Amino acid sequence: MAKRLGSWWIGGTLVPPRGGACDKGNVLEHIIKSLRPMALLVAGAVIFVLGTAFVLASDATLPSSSGASSDLAQAGHWLQFLAAVGLLGAVCSAGW
């Protein structure tokens, strides 16, 4: 395997030189090219859409069933929170 200029081997893995994609502040490029951050990003987006659907469904329920409306809204907000945590995890794992 050819060694890149300015990189070195530590513990059997090739360590990139300083000034890589994350060091330059281009975390988005690293997220797109990495599997784990991209999987967390997609999962976060799907969960956020599901939470938004729950919130919209809570607004569409009949006024007579106020308990169902508040339960759907609370579930939707929790799903949106979990999605935000997943998206934050994607950004953090890309920068790690």
Tell whether the model's pLDDT for residue 81 goes beyond 90. yes
Q: Give the whole-angstrom CA distance, residue 23 versus residue 3.
A: 20
Q: Which residues pair with 15 in a beta bridge?
A: 8
Q: Domain map of the chain by residue range?
A: 47-96
Q: Which residues pair with 13 in a beta bridge?
A: 10
Question: Which is more confident, 59 or 95?
Answer: 59
Q: State the DSSP H helix or E strand holding residue 10, giving kind and residue range, or none if neither.
A: strand 8-10
Q: Give the whole-angstrom CA distance, residue 6 versus residue 24.
A: 16
Cβ pair 83, 51 in contact under 8 A? yes
pTM above 0.75, yes or no: no
pLDDT digits (tens, 9 = 90+) for 66-80: 788 888 899 999 999
pLDDT at 11: 56
Confidence of residue 92 (pLDDT cuts 50, 70, 90): confident
Selection from 14, 17, 15, 19 nearest residue 6 by Cα: 17
For helices 35-60 and 66-95, angle between their N-to-C axes, nearest 10 degrees: 160
**Tokens found for residue 79:** 């799903």
Q: State the DSSP H helix or E strand holding residue 14, giving kind and residue range, or none if neither.
A: strand 13-15
